[in-house]
Structure 1
Amino acid sequence: MRPPREPAYAGAMNDRPGIAQGQETTSAARSADRVKAAVRAVLAPNVRDRVAAVGFAVPATLMMGNHADQGVLRALALAAGVVLFSLPIALGRRRPLLALGLLLTGLGLVGAADPPSMVAGLTALGYVLWPLAAGPYAYAALALAVACAWTTALPDFRHRGGAVAFTVLYLVIWTAGHALGIQRRQARNRVEQAATDERLRIAREMHDLLAHGMSVITVQAGYGALIALDQPDKAQAALTTIETTGRQTLTELRALLHVLRPVDTGNGPTGTGADVHLEPAPGLGELRRLVDRTAQAGVRTALELDGPLAGLPPALDLSAYRIAQEALTNVVRHAGIDHAHLLIRRTPDALTVQVTDHGGGAGRGYRPGHGLLGMRERALVHGGTLDAAPLPEGGFRVRAVLPLTA
């Protein structure tokens, strides 16, 4: 006899506990997210300031209310003082100067009506002094706060206990707030500097990558247009060079853009990822192809290698290649000559990249452009130097020395 078959829906019924458990887990996660969002909202700086203002207003009202039974004008002045002392606490972070102005107004009003009640305003001044200490008016705010503290000792300065106590309190608050402000400014400057350095790095890469390829394409396009009718075979070869150079430039451009674009791994952008279709960043191992492309642009380059090129740090390898590439591009664009010399020398201490031509591209009034500035920045990144100047006998030489650190 055949064993009884299990109903077709049995498997689905067995999966129901797992589905229910998954739904419960999702609900719990959503509840936890809502709780976290509520906690963050409660702990937000603006909310904390408002709560602190309310918390200050209650005891200030009780304290100053004890002195409000000596006339209507005094009662109105003290009531206005409570508002002018409490409101700055709520505004301190967002509008510190306005908060300070309100506090000074309140201190003047309450000081005229009931000097002992100024203690409440001086306490609130400590709360407002914190954000002011981190801003551009830190020293002026400290001077005003200390001056306000010492008004409690007027007119004869015999009762200086409160003034000294508030002065010490203000100094502590101001010192901590000022130090925090300096730390935040330094952190912001570091972030801005990192962003600036990254923009410069991207600009250098884009300039060096595109300038060489477009120089080759421009020269070949002009050459092909001149000989298109008389020498169609050579014109076709020029078009082939343009196509090859364009494809190579686009390939390197895609690789650069891929490095800059974050990859979404399912948990949000987390950085760059590997792509098997992208070529690695160029290095000195690509010098032969660089020399060939320069020759296609009309400048034959004698390549001289002195020392092994294997084992260089990737960043330094790329920088050395880009320096050589940009220097040869400048020869193509400015030298007005059909030959150049490229020297790569590696010693135990340094890597030297030198490009020399004997053309007439640089003369009096020479000013470095973006290409030379980019080469100098690449050298400085590695602690090296770059010398780019016309030669006395005519021509131009670019010489970069990049230290090889252990």
Structure 2
Amino acid sequence: MALPSRVRGLRVPGRPSWHVTDAAVTLVVTLFVSVWTLVAMRYETEPAHLTLVGWALILVGCGALYHRRRWPVAVAVVTLLASAAYYPLSVFDGPLMITFALALYTTAAEGRLAAAVALAAVTLLAVGFGESRQSGGARQLDDVSVAMLAGWLISLIAVGRAQHTRGAYLREVEQRARAAEREQEARARQGATEERLRIARELHDVLGHSISLINVQSSAVLHKLGKGPEPAAGLAAAEEALTAVKAASKDALRELRSTLGVLRQADEVAPTSPAPGLDRLDELTGHARSTGLNVSTRVEGVRRALPPPLDLAAYRIVQESLTNVTRHARASSVRITLEYADDQLRVRVDDDGDGTPDARNTGSGIRGMTERARAFGGELTAHNTAAGFRVEARLPLEEHA
């Protein structure tokens, strides 16, 4: 996200361009004061030693301006003392007071408001004290001039304070813009990561289940053919296995095309077939039965339509559970229970296998099922039972009704 031009131009401490600016300001002020003094020297005269002292004070006061951002209070004090010493000694009355005015403004602009007010007050007190010491009532400044000086000093502080407030506002805007940019990038990275994980779970569940069925059917028929059966029996077994392999591979291809549809470009036509859900549970259990498993299904409560994302998650949990049973459990029967309540759906898959969860946890199956359940605010457990192994998921319904 691009920052606004006014924010991008905000001063950053240590940026070289500001040293160049301060040097340019110092040079301009020095030339202005010097030219004014040289012009005044054509009409006034003074002793040479006073002229040398005056030029030294001009160089000190003007040269200090280069450091006005780094040490604003110290530069303001130096320029004030230089001006206080210059005007009583020199008869030329050059505009050296400009250095103090610029230093006072910078002090307020850098956030040193108390110091700026104190310096302005000291200046007014010093002027008043000096006027009171004039002999014979020969004042250099009348009351109107003193009032104008006071207003001038107050205006410098007010403008400096306003500049400080503006700079603080722009710095806050810049920080917020950068924070928003970092947050946007973090959300984009998180979204990309979540999408990759989602696609990985889909591919794992789709391909894992179908390939497991194909593997089991192929192994079973090879085992039968290895015993040398009668040709008719061997042909029948091979035909049965190939039929199951064909069905499993067809389902795998269909779901794979549906899953990869999210990777299509925007101008391509995505698949329009609905995502699988619990309405296809009979088809899923039929595939599992073709491997020799005795699969039963029980529904408790009133079965109702579920939101598509939740329906897909429940289907994938059952599918992955059956895949794990086929691969690792050495089970003969599986019982699937769907329990519909007012606020949640419970999915249980029990098998009578050897009940050892280590083999089932070596892959990403149970972890993927757990992530699916947590994505909907639910939970999933996988543990041994007295009769074998159980996978149980709780999926809340209220938030997705």
TM-score (normalizing by structure 1): 0.61
Partner of 2:324: 330
Q: Deviations over 1:101-130 (max 9, x none)?
A: xxxxxxxxxx999221345xx4xxxxxxxx
Identify which of 251, 254, 262 aligns with 2:254.
251
Identify which of 66, 78, 81 aligns with 1:117.
66
Query: Which amino acid in 1 is paired with 2:375?
Result: V
Query: Which amino acid in 2 is paired with 1:194?
Result: G
For structure 2, the residue ranges without an aligned partner over 5 or more in a row are 10-15, 35-59, 82-102, 112-163
Identify which of 385, 390, 401 aligns with 2:384.
390
Task: Confirm whether residue 399 of structure 1 aligns to residue 361 of structure 2.
Answer: no
- Cα distance, 1:160–1:389 mapped onto 2, change above 3 Å: farther
Task: Confirm whether residue 290 of structure 1 aligns to residue 284 of structure 2.
Answer: yes
Match of 2:390, SS state, is strand
**Is the 1:379–1:401 Cα contact (8 Å) retained in structure 2?**
yes
Match of 2:110, SS state, is helix
Q: Deviations over 1:166-194 (max 9, x none)?
A: 23455444333222222221222111111
Task: Confirm whether residue 188 of structure 1 aligns to residue 185 of structure 2.
Answer: yes
- Cα distance, 1:69–1:150 mapped onto 2, change above 3 Å: closer
Task: Confirm whether residue 163 of structure 1 aligns to residue 78 of structure 2.
Answer: no
**Is the 2:296–2:334 Cα contact (8 Å) retained in structure 1?**
yes
Task: Confirm whether residue 210 of structure 1 aligns to residue 207 of structure 2.
Answer: yes
Q: Deviations over 1:122-164 (max 9, x none)?
A: 4xxxxxxxxxxxxxxxxxxxxxxxx665664577999765334
Match of 1:303, SS state, is strand
- Cα distance, 1:366–1:204 mapped onto 2, change above 3 Å: closer
Deviation of the 1:68 alpha carbon: 6.4
- Cα distance, 1:239–1:364 mapped onto 2, change above 3 Å: closer
For 1:365 and 1:252, the matched residues in 2 are separated by 26
Q: Which aligned pairs between 1:5-16 and structure 2 lie closer than 5 A? A: none
For 1:191 and 1:344, the matched residues in 2 are separated by 37
For 1:112 and 1:331, the matched residues in 2 are separated by 89
Identify which of 264, 277, 280 aligns with 2:267.
264
Match of 2:382, SS state, is strand
Partner of 2:221: 224
Deviation of the 1:328 alpha carbon: 1.1
**Is the 1:358–1:394 Cα contact (8 Å) retained in structure 2?**
yes
Deviation of the 1:355 alpha carbon: 0.3
For 2:358 and 2:71, the matched residues in 1 are separated by 66
Q: Calculate the aligned-residue CA RMSD, in Å.
A: 3.8
- Cα distance, 1:363–1:172 mapped onto 2, change above 3 Å: closer
**Is the 2:244–2:290 Cα contact (8 Å) retained in structure 1?**
yes
**Is the 2:356–2:384 Cα contact (8 Å) retained in structure 1?**
yes
Deviation of the 1:70 alpha carbon: 11
Match of 1:114, SS state, is helix
Deviation of the 1:287 alpha carbon: 0.4
Match of 2:297, SS state, is strand
Higher relative contact order (CA 8 A, sep 6+): 2
- Cα distance, 1:382–1:284 mapped onto 2, change above 3 Å: same
Q: Deviations over 1:28-51 (max 9, x none)?
A: xxxxxxxxxxxxxxx997xx87xx
Query: Which amino acid in 2 is paired with 1:314?
Result: P
Query: Which amino acid in 2 is paired with 1:401?
Result: R
**Is the 1:151–1:163 Cα contact (8 Å) retained in structure 2?**
no
Identify which of 64, 68, 76 aligns with 2:27.
64
Q: Which aligned pairs between 1:304-383 and structure 2 lie closer than 5 A? A: 304-362=298-356, 367=361, 369-383=363-377
Query: Which amino acid in 2 is paired with 1:317?
Result: D
Q: Percent identity?
A: 33
- Cα distance, 1:311–1:193 mapped onto 2, change above 3 Å: same
For 2:219 and 2:76, the matched residues in 1 are separated by 88
For 1:218 and 1:342, the matched residues in 2 are separated by 23
For 2:241 and 2:347, the matched residues in 1 are separated by 30
**Is the 1:152–1:162 Cα contact (8 Å) retained in structure 2?**
no
TM-score (normalizing by structure 2): 0.62
- Cα distance, 1:218–1:177 mapped onto 2, change above 3 Å: same
**Is the 1:342–1:353 Cα contact (8 Å) retained in structure 2?**
yes
Partner of 1:8: none
Match of 1:67, SS state, is helix
For 2:77 and 2:289, the matched residues in 1 are separated by 88
Deviation of the 1:365 alpha carbon: 9.4
**Is the 1:285–1:309 Cα contact (8 Å) retained in structure 2?**
no
- Cα distance, 1:156–1:303 mapped onto 2, change above 3 Å: farther
Task: Confirm whether residue 198 of structure 1 aligns to residue 191 of structure 2.
Answer: no
